Amino acid sequence: MGTTALVTGASSGLGVEFARELARRGADLVLVARRQDRLEQLAVQLAESYGTVSTVIPMDLTASDAVSELRADLAERGVRVATLVNNAGFGTFGRLDGIAEQRVHDEVSLNVLALTELTRAFWPELVAHARTSPGNGALVNISSTAAYQPIPFMAVYGATKAYVRSFTEALWWEAKGTGLKVTALAPGATDTEFRQVAANDPVMVGPHQDAATAVATAFRALDARSTPPSVVSGALNAVGARGVGFVPRRSLLTVLGRSIAPS
């Protein structure tokens, strides 16, 4: 309430739902993604529904100076961020040698590098805000159930999401005593544009959720008296994520590799 939240990947899917819920709770927004028209439409909707002031920043977060430019742009506008939702991300389905090198570079740049640099760049102001207004600001990084086991034919994506989970859980500890809530949300298969972007059918296994349901899981975690370092969306997904740790790696990879092999 009365603070500003920065949401990356706010032009589609989970990012739109994060922005909507944050606006409903009274936050102003910074909306970042490449598709400016989508961001502007969302800004208008949020203003009409909740009186939200949105700053629209169209940008490709894989560009080399993207994060420092974003940081400088917001500083110049006098916008201070209390909540950061690192949501922008994508996956690619296929054998590693069938994926263009540039796409592999962009996937790691967006899912890992931009997320890390954004967290580092905004961490001081997230913590400063949390110290004066404990519990009223958060860092939410979007991981995935893909973080809980390697995924053949989506090897890069699974590895990037394992990074996000590990990175965020470590920061959960570092934030202790500051009042900043930190969590990694791990959605399972969710109906967004993700599948279209990844060009994958077989990997979207398991129960499908809608984006609003997955985002509600993150807010339940943030609203809890003690926010967990990470949270899996959906009871079955949570059981699966915990369960895979007990399955011998070789067997797990054999089942996964056979069930999601490209045709």
Q: How far is CA 29 from the centre of its chain?
A: 16
Stretch that binds ligand NAP, among 129-137, 169-177, 185-193, 241-249 (CB under 6 A): 185-193
Please give the Cα distance from 239 to 57 (Å, whole number).
38
CB nearer ligand NAP, residue 15 or residue 137? 15
Give CB contacts under 8 A, 24+ apart, made by 34-42. Answer: 34/58, 34/59, 34/60, 35/11, 38/11, 38/12, 39/10, 39/11, 42/10, 42/11, 42/16
Is-catalytic flag, 157?
yes
Contacts (Cβ under 8 Å, ≥6 apart) of 119: 84, 86, 139, 141, 167, 171
Stretch that binds ligand NAP, among 44-52, 56-64, 73-81, 251-259 (CB under 6 A): 56-64
Site for ligand NAP in 144-173 (CB under 6 A): 144
For residue 251, which amino acid is it? S
Contacts (Cβ under 8 Å, ≥6 apart) of 138: 83, 84, 126, 180, 181, 182, 183, 222, 227
Please give the Cα distance from 151 to 159 (Å, whole number).
8
Please give the Cα distance from 58 to 38 (Å, whole number).
10
Told to check if 14 binds ligand NAP by CB under 6 A, we report: yes
Contacts (Cβ under 8 Å, ≥6 apart) of 65: none
Site for ligand NAP in 62-101 (CB under 6 A): 62, 87-91
Told to check if 189 binds ligand NAP by CB under 6 A, we report: yes
CB nearer ligand NAP, residue 8 or residue 119? 8
Stretch that binds ligand NAP, among 43-51, 59-67, 173-181, 250-258 (CB under 6 A): 59-67
| Structure tokens given for 116 | 């890390």
Stretch that binds ligand NAP, among 127-135, 169-177, 183-191, 221-229 (CB under 6 A): 183-191
Site for ligand NAP in 200-259 (CB under 6 A): none
# residues contacting ligand NAP (CB under 6 A) = 28
Write down the catalytic residue from 50, 148, 157, 163: 157
With CB under 6 A as the contact rule, the residue among 137, 158, 187, 234 that binds ligand NAP is 187
Told to check if 12 binds ligand NAP by CB under 6 A, we report: yes
Positions annotated as catalytic residues are: 157
Binding site for ligand NAP (CB under 6 A): 8-9, 11-15, 33-35, 60-62, 87-91, 110, 142, 144, 187, 189-190, 192-194, 197
